[in-house]
Amino acid sequence: MTTAPAEAPPAAGAGRRTAAFLWPRLTDVRWHLVSFQIAYVVYALVATSFSRTAPQYAAAFVSCMGLDFLLAWAVKGVLMFPLSGLITSMGTTLILDSPLVWPYAFVGVVAMLSKHFLRVRGRHVFNPNNAGLVIAVLYFPGVATASGGGWGGYAPLAALMFLLGASVAWRANRLLLAMTYWLTFAAGVLARSAVLEQPALVAGGPMTGPAFQLFLFYMLTDPMTTPQSRKGQVIFGVLLGTVDTALRLAEQKYAPLYALFIMTGVYASFAAITGLRLSASPWKWRRLQAA
């Protein structure tokens, strides 16, 4: 889930460090996101279907928030509340499925390292959560998976997450992107249904589950790694849905995660090579000056 659109706290400047502490303003869209995430995490704690343990939560929170805080200080020279780390940590606990503790820390570490070091034109290339999850499921298939089953397949929950998620996407100015992907995915469902002679209900089954809503509205809509313009969002959404459909035809279990990883990588390169104008960071900070 969610991801951490993090980013762009004002830097202190080359070789300088500031004593000021940066705190996200209440109008920052990430708080909106966090409020829903907390609700989902509480549900995950209460619903035994998630089978998460306290050390797993702790591993994700400590690795994500701790590293985000430290790397912001080390790389940018700023002290800031690691709100993006918090978002990534909750996303990790909701999507990653492992019986062990260390994969939760591993995803957090990879996510934060990718956010702070894999950058083009000052922007991180990948959605941090997406990068951590992709590498975990690819390189540690015996202990890490991303499973939608933990949500129990409750359709009313999925519907609620759709509505809440749409509001987040709208505030992040990525609703068009989400909807374009949704429509392309739906078209892919019909295509796969025809090719595989499967009921559309089966091919499109994931769309009815909560995990799909998380991907659609919380991971996909990261403003830092997706286009800002309406045209760009439509193109990105269509291409993402197409890659996702192709991967599903190849029976790739992690099709949406892989598709987003590929598309954000390609988009970052495309933007860099063509000099595409990137939007300003939407995050809003408040500077708390030390006495």
Partner 1 sequence: MQVIGGSWWRRGWSLAEGMLGVWLVIAVFAGQRVMDRVAPSLTTRLIPTPDFEILDATKAAGLTHMPEVYSVAPDLRHIEQMLNSFGNSIAVADLDGDGWQDIYLTQSAPGGRNELYVNQRDGTFRETAVAAGVGEVNTGGFRSLRAMAADCDNDGHKDLFVIGAGVRLFHNRGDGRFDEWSGRSSFAITGAAHAANVVDFDDDGRLDLIVAPYFARDVVGEAPDPDGIMPDSFFYATNGAPVSVFHNEGDCRYVPQPGNLGIQHRGWTHTVGVYDLRDAGRPDLWFSSDFSSDKVYLNDGRGGFSNASDRVFTRSFSRNGMGFAAADIDGDERTEVFVPHIMFRGQKPGGNMLWGIADDGSFADESRLRGVKDCGWGWGGIFADLNNDSRLDLIVGNGFISNNAKRNYWYQVSVLDSAARGVMTDARNWPPMEDSSMAGYQRACIFVNEGSRFVDVRPATLLADDDSDERATAMIDFRNDGNLGFVVGAMHRPTRLYEIRQLEQRRWVGYVLRGTRSNRDGYGATLVLELADGRTLRRQFQPLNGFLSQHDGRLHVGLGEGGEVRAGRVRWPSGIVQELTLEQRAPGAYHEITETAAPS
Q: Does 145 bind partner 1 (CB under 8 A)?
A: yes
Q: Containing H/E element for 32?
A: helix 29-46
Q: Does 144 bind partner 1 (CB under 8 A)?
A: yes
Burial class for 26, CB neighbours closer than 10 Å (0-12, 13-18, 19+): exposed
Using the contact rule CB under 8 A, the part of the chain among 58-66, 75-83, 139-147, 174-182 near partner 1 is 139-147
Question: How many residues sit in the footprint of partner 1 (CB under 8 A)?
Answer: 60
CB nearer to partner 1: give 50 or 61.
Answer: 50
Q: Does 139 bind partner 1 (CB under 8 A)?
A: yes
Identified binder of partner 1 from the candidate list 87, 158, 172, 178, rule CB under 8 A: 158
Q: How far is the CB of 111 from partner 1 (least distance, A)?
A: 14
CB nearer to partner 1: give 176 or 211.
Answer: 211
Q: Does 240 bind partner 1 (CB under 8 A)?
A: no
Identified binder of partner 1 from the candidate list 83, 164, 211, 239, rule CB under 8 A: 211
Identified binder of partner 1 from the candidate list 69, 205, 278, 279, rule CB under 8 A: 205
Distances (CA, A) of 16 to 70, 73, 120, 279, 287: 15, 10, 22, 26, 16
Q: Does 141 bind partner 1 (CB under 8 A)?
A: yes
Residue 202: CB partners within 8 Å, gap ≥ 6? 193
Q: Does 75 bind partner 1 (CB under 8 A)?
A: no
Identified binder of partner 1 from the candidate list 199, 229, 230, 284, rule CB under 8 A: 199
Q: Containing H/E element for 233?
A: helix 230-249
What does the alpha-carbon distance between residue 206 and residue 201 come to, in Å, rounded to a whole number? 9
What does the alpha-carbon distance between residue 244 and residue 241 come to, in Å, rounded to a whole number? 5
What does the alpha-carbon distance between residue 180 and residue 1 come to, in Å, rounded to a whole number? 19
DSSP string computed for 151-179? GTT-HHHHHHHHHHHHHHHHHTT-HHHHH
Tell me the per-residue interface mask from 33 to 72 with partner 1, x by CB under 8 A, - otherwise.
---------------xx-x-x-------------------
Sign of CA dihedral 7, 11, 15, 17: negative
Which chain residues interact with partner 1 by CB under 8 A? 48-49, 51, 53, 97-100, 118, 120-121, 125-126, 134-135, 137-139, 141-145, 147-150, 152-155, 158, 196, 198-199, 201-203, 205-209, 211-212, 251-253, 261-262, 264-269, 272-275
